[in-house]
Each structure stands twice: as structure tokens, then as C-alpha cells.
Amino acid sequence: MAHRPPRPARGATLNAASTRFNLPQAEEDGDWLDSRGTIDGAAAPARTTVTIERARTIITRNQSPDVPFDRSINPYRGCEHGCIYCFARPSHAFHDLSPGLDFETRLFAKPDAAALLRAELGRRDYRCAPIAMGTNTDPYQPIEREWRVTREVIEVLAACDHPLVITTKSDRVVRDLDLLAPMAAKGLVAVAISVTSLDPRVAMTVEPRAPAAARRLAAVRRLSDAGVPTYVNMAPVIPAITDEEVEAVVAASAAAGALGVSYIPVRLPWEVAPLFRAWLDEHYPERAAKVMAIIQSLRGGKDNEPRFGERMRGQGPWAELLRTRFRIARARAGFSDERRRLDLRCDLFRAPAGAQGELF
């Protein structure tokens, strides 16, 4: 039997505060912490804490031209999956928390999300369009098992016949098949499951607390068999670490019943870049320089290129080679190279009765 490598505790190796907002650097307990490891042994692993966040609204709007939705819901802030590449990490800096370990360990749940959603859907000026979940942090991260905020949100959307798109890297999504399958039968839902690597050793380093790829692909099969339109997103593709698996991921996705496969090259916005560099030095020191050189070739010589149109695909010879490899792999797997349009129905939407008075 193959040896199962030990599961790393966390993704980030740093917990530095952001310097973007000139916030004071908070000392935790004094300089003695720096030498505690030599006095008392290694520090205990960071515990995960969950704080209740009392949001005033739950639907977030965006006008980004390179994403196929204009509104989203994030039931949680921060994510225990600990993916080192997560582009949502910088959002923790807005709350004077580190995009490093704090992002993985100091989480926020929004238990009022369902009630807020009913109120917003009940507004007279609300116009129905698909709501995306999982655009910032994973709606099915481990704390969903206890908090169930995501399920409560889906229950509201299902009752109103409101269209929904879910993005996750967790097989926990199949728990909600009793809601998703009837929605799919009405043309109201689609699911995208992220698969970064099929190699357990790579995956446990890149995304230490996310379910194994085999479990995610099994979820693709269960969702597809239940009639839920399901896609795989190889996001991100990390040069010289996961890009060698492109063809294997596409083939495995087809075998699992996915309707299509997309990809996004790794992005390193704001504080993600130094966190990613430190992670490379810790886990892949022999190829760190090569990885960063390719990333910078994709991003115009920088660690990150935030411009619309460039950020999701990159530029240059390596980006073009990646596009070609995906096109060939899709064709071999029987996928169309055309980008599928998600035609979810909005005409069935019914506003919840008496929703606006629920919060008052």
C-alpha cells in the first residue's frame, strides 16, 4: 500500500501584518516569542477560531468584465483550506489581520446570511440574476459542517427558484444534493469544482486542508449522475509544480462526468506574492527561482498583473503554450473548446413573501 504523507498543519509559513494601510504592527506577547522554540520547544499549532460577523448586507456586487456574474455571496471570511495561492488572502488585511496564518485560522461566519438574503431578495427593486458562491472563500470549507450557513443560503435560493453558481474545492457539496438536484432539474444551478493537482504530496503542500483530488472527482461524478451541471476548474496552474498534470486533470475530469474544464494561471496579488515566495523557499527551494521566472514572464515582468483580460490568462510564450495544451487535452477528452455559456433560468424567480420585515 502506498505511503500516505503526513498532512501539513497550515499553508502559509508567515503571519506578517499587511503594510498597505500603514497600520501599527501589533506585538503579541513581547520579543520572548522569537526564542520560545529554543526554550520550551516548538510552539503549538495555531488553532482555528470562528467569530460571528453581523453583516448588514449579504449580496456583493461587482462590475469585473472578466467574470461571468455580477453578484456573489460569501458566507465566511477567511478559509481553513489554507491554499497558499488564494487570491482572497489580502482581504484579511482590511480587518487588521494577517493574510498569512490569520487568514487560515481566524475565520468569520455570517449566521444571519439567510435572513439577510431573504430581505434583499424581497426588495421591490431587486432584479434576478445568477448569484455566485465561492468567489472569495470556499462555501464548503470545514467549518460549514458545524455552521451550515451555506446550506441555509441555498435553502432560501431554492425556495425562491433563484439561479445559483457554486465554486468549491470540497466534496462536502454533495451533502446538499437534496437541494441542488431539484434546482438543476429546473435549470437553476451549476457547480464548478477546483482540482489543482492529482498528486497527494503536491496537493497537501499547496492546499493542506482541502479534500483530496480523488474525493473531489468523486463529487463531480455524484453531482453529474444526479443531473447537476458540473465543471472542473484547474485553478490555479502553478508553473513547474502542477502544470505537468494538465493533460491528466482534463482526462480525469472527463472520466468523472464533468461537462467542461477551465483553468487560470496562478495569480499573486498584494500580500500573496511574498507569502508564495516564502512557501516556495520552504517546500520547493530547488525550483523556486524557475517558478517565479515563469510567473513573471506571464505577468509582464512582475509578480502580478491585475488588468482585466490579462489576469485570468497571462501573456507571453508560456501562456500561449498553456492555452495550446488545454485546447489539445480538451479535444482528446471529448470536450468542446468553446466556452460553455451558463444559461440558468431567471424567469422562475419568486420573491420571498414578507421578507423585508424579517430583520426588524
The percentage of residues in the chain with a pLDDT greater than 70, rounded to a whole number, is 86
Query: What span, in angstroms and rounded, lies between the C-alpha atoms of 7 and 196?
Result: 17
Residue 16 has pLDDT above 60, yes or no: yes
Higher pLDDT residue, 342 or 217? 217
Whole-number pLDDT of residue 311: 86
Report the DSSP beta bridge partners of residue 356.
none
Give the residue, 220 or 68, on which the prediction is more confident: 220
Strand partners, 52: 109
Per-residue pLDDT band at 340 (split at 50, 70, 90): low
The mean pLDDT value of the chain amounts to: 89
69-96 pLDDT, tens digit each: 999 999 999 999 999 999 999 999 999 9
The domain that holds 279 is classified in CATH as 3.80.30.30
Is residue 298 situated within a structural domain? yes
Q: What's the mean pLDDT in 210-235?
A: 98
Say how far residue 24 (Cα) sits from the centre of its chain. 30
Q: How far apart are CA 218 and CA 290, in angstroms?
A: 34
- Copy the grid coordinates of residue 186: 429546473
Considering only the C-alpha atoms of the chain, give the largest distance between any 2 of them, rounded to a whole number of Å. 66
b/e 100-135 (16+ beta carbons within 10 angstroms → b):
bbbbbbbbbbbebbbebbbbbbbeeeeebebbbbbb
The residue range of the domain holding 144 is 47-336
Task: Quote the cell numbers at residue 212.
Answer: 483530496
The confidence score (pLDDT) of residue 13 equals: 73
Q: Which of 84, 89, 80 is nearest to 139 (CA)?
A: 80
What's the CA gap between 289 and 262, in Å, rounded? Answer: 27
Look up cell 504523507; give the residue: 5
Tell me how many degrees the CA angle 56-59-65 measures, rounded to the nearest 5. Answer: 140
| 1-10, 118-127, 246-255: least confident range | 1-10
Give the residue among 217, 200, 210 at the shortest CA–CA distance from 85. 210
- Whether residue 357 lies inside any domain: the answer is no
Q: In what order do the strands lie in the sheet with 131-133?
A: 59-61, 71-73, 131-133, 164-168, 189-194, 230-237, 261-265
Answer yes or no: is 348 within a domain: no
Cis peptide before 236 (omega within 30 of 0): yes
Give the pLDDT score at 31. Answer: 31
pLDDT tens column, 275-296: 999 999 999 999 999 999 999 9
Count the domains in the chain.
1
Residue 222 domain-assigned (yes or no): yes
> Which pLDDT tens digit goes with each residue over 295-307?
999 999 999 998 8
- pLDDT (average), residues 244-270: 98
Burial of 342 per CB tally in 10 Å (0-12, 13-18, 19+): middle
* Structure confidence by residue, pLDDT tens digits, 36-52: 333 344 445 679 999 99
Whole-model pTM: value is 0.89
